[in-house]
Amino acid sequence: MEREILVIDAGTTSTRAIRFAPDGACLGQHSAPIAQHYPCPGWVEHDANEIRDASFACARQMIDAAGGSDRIAAIGIANQRETVVFWDRSTGEALAPAIVWQDRRSADLCAALIDRGEEAGVQARSGLLLDPYFSGTKIAWALEHWTHLREAGDRLAIGTVESWLMWHLTGGAHVSDATNASRTLLMALGSGSWDDGLIDLFGVPRAALPEIVDCAGQFGTTSRFGGSIAITGMAGDQQAATIGQSCLARGETKATYGTGAFVLANCGTTPPVSRNRLLATVAWQIGGRRTYALEGSVFVAGSLIQWLRDSLGLLASADESEALARSVADNGGVYCVPALAGIGAPWWRPEARAAITGMSFATTRAHVARAALEAMAHQTRDLKTAFAADGADWKTLRIDGGMVANDWMAQDLADMLDIPVERPGFAETTALGAAMLAGVGAGIFATLEDAAAMRGPIEHFLPTIADSERTRRVEGWSAAVQAVVVKR
């Protein structure tokens, strides 16, 4: 019997462990929620100890279900990316709340650096823009406002979620893979190393940072679940999904619709340069060789539906959104701009706030639900326009994430983008990509191309609406989004 690959996928609202066979079959999974904490408007925090404990509890359950640690060939890790953790090297315990990627508390710092003219240099070095989204601005804020972090001195360790999990899995290995490191504002995109100028700009102690490593390889072993298991794959969730979608050739593009929505287009082995406020990032690094991607980041996707359900009570369940969207002929002139955590690419306005426009006495909750789902295609179309302007237009879009189980939304993406959309039968492509990396790192596969055999069947959605209808909706969306984009 073949041994299995176990993936720990530590996401924003939940963490899970998934077992894979080498042929890509999902053999089982177990998940646990992660509590969201909102201490101030615009602030989002996690308890890092909860992330660790819940992730390991899920992993233990899956290892036991597999028949014990001897049945696991390797472990792969995928994680929410820009979320940053601060911990004590001597005790391994978190020293502060984890600051989540959605958190906007460093907006004033970003604005001040932009006013000083720093953004062009930061983008040239890191491939990123000055926005509270990225880890470096969060670290700078924390070191300024949480004095006990500075007082920790040499005991302070800083890392993203995969670093935090690796530390505890291995008993003290402080490493970060190149994809996560490329999201910190502290790594030079071309060299794949920490950049002295960027570290100085944000006032980060270099000694607190992890070593940057590949995405596949022998990173260490864990005996936390019984016998020794090798940890051989790591990647940020969006890069893992890119791999899981087998976007292994230049130009191949995926979009993941989870808490947020993230589009990555494979740009090959040369760092791309965006002139349209997209991000240049590492797609993966193996054997010290990096493949790059252009990325468009949308901060609010599935979390919009969750907000309509939990905060406004407009939905009894997330699944109800599809039935409501189908129950009306159109959006009734209603548009939803979901800037609940600012607005991301290509606008990058952290101060923007959400709006639902065009309502009348004829508006029903079905129109609002439909407008919320339509916002996914509208935001994605804005990104497609920016990618095309950077010379990386999409011929096909491969979609995944929890939202794309919604057939209406998948078809709406094809209609509004006017290109074919592909949806895999197994939507958890983030975990699948981490399994592919772990398989390469463990020697189960020689290359990612070989590991792509793990990808399963694909469903296709083709454009069906008239150009006039597409144009009408684009014009309505453009007016709505312009009304919420606050100019500096």
What is the arrangement of strands in the sheet containing 72-79, beginning at the earlier edge strand? 26-33, 14-20, 4-10, 72-79, 229-236, 216-222
The tokens for 479 are 């007016």
| Peptide bond connecting 457 to the previous residue in cis, omega within 30 degrees of 0 | no
Is 10 a member of any domain? Answer: yes
pLDDT of residue 486: 59
Per-block mean pLDDT, blocks of 10 residues, the chain (488 long): 92 94 94 94 94 97 95 96 96 96 92 95 94 94 96 96 97 96 96 96 96 96 94 96 95 92 94 92 96 92 92 91 94 94 84 92 95 96 95 94 92 97 91 97 96 92 95 95 74
CA 370 to chain centroid: 24
Is 471 a member of any domain? Answer: no
Query: Per residue in 405-442, pLDDT tens?
Result: 999 999 999 999 999 999 999 888 999 999 999 999 99
**Hey, how many other C-beta atoms are within 10 angstroms of the C-beta on 288?**
10
Which among 71, 62, 51, 19 is positioned nearest to 435, based on CA atoms? Answer: 19
Residue corresponding to tokens 């000694």: 207
Which residues have a Cβ under 8 Å from the Cβ of 112 and sit 6 or more positions away? Answer: none
**Hey, how many other C-beta atoms are within 10 angstroms of the C-beta on 143?**
19
Angle at 291 between CA 381 and CA 204, to 5 degrees: 90
The tokens for 430 are 């983030």
Strands 45-46 and 26-33: unpaired
- Say how far apart CA 302 and CA 459 lie, in whole Å: 21
Query: Per residue in 211-269, pLDDT tens?
Result: 999 999 999 999 999 899 999 999 999 999 999 999 999 999 999 998 889 999 999 99
Residue type, 11: G
Which among 247, 248, 256, 245 is positioned nearest to 432, based on CA atoms? Answer: 245
Specify whether the CB–CB gap between 176 and 162 falls below 8 A.
yes
pLDDT of residue 350: 79
Burial annotation 146-183 (CB, 10 A radius, 16+ → b, else e): eeebeebeeebbbbbbbbbbbbbbbeebbbbbbbbbbb
The answer for 324, left when phi > 0, alpha when psi is -120 to 50, beta otherwise, is alpha
Nearest 10 degrees: Cα torsion 90, 96, 100, 103: -150
pLDDT of residue 345: 83
Is 267 a member of any domain? Answer: no
Specify whether the CB–CB gap between 192 and 282 falls below 8 A.
yes
- Say how far apart CA 204 and CA 38 lie, in whole Å: 25
**Hey, how many other C-beta atoms are within 10 angstroms of the C-beta on 57?**
13
Is 456 a member of any domain? Answer: no
How many domains does the chain contain in total?
1
- Residue 476 — φ and ψ, nearest 5°? -65, -40
Specify whether the CB–CB gap between 170 and 230 falls below 8 A.
no
pLDDT of residue 150: 93
Q: What is the CATH number of the domain that holds 38?
A: 3.30.420.40
Provide the residue range defining the domain that includes 160: 4-237
What pTM value is reported for the model? 0.90
Is 458 a member of any domain? Answer: no
3-state secondary structure the chain: CCCEEEEEEECCCEEEEEEECCCCCEEEEEEEECCCECCCCCCCEECHHHHHHHHHHHHHHHHHHHCCHHHEEEEEEEECCCCEEEEECCCCCECCCEECCCCCCCHHHHHHHHHCCCHHHHHHHHCCCCCCCCHHHHHHHHHHHCHHHHHCHHHEEEEEHHHHHHHHHHCCCCEEEHHHHCCCCCEECCCCEECHHHHHHHCCCHHHCCEEECCEEEEEEECCCCCCEEEEEEEEHHHHHHHHCCCCCCCCEEEEECCCEEEEEEEECCCCCCCCCCEEEEEEEECCEEEEEEEEEECCCHHHHHHHHHCCCCCCCCCHHHHHHHCCCCCCCCEEECCECEECCCCCECCCCCEEECCCCCCCHHHHHHHHHHHHHHHHHHHHHHHHHCCCCCCCEEEECHHHHCHHHHHHHHHHHCCCEEEECCCCHHHHHHHHHHHHHCCCCCCHHHHHHHCCCEEEECCCCCHHHHHHHHHHHHHHHHHHCCCC
Is 187 a member of any domain? Answer: yes
Is 87 a member of any domain? Answer: yes
Is 161 a member of any domain? Answer: yes
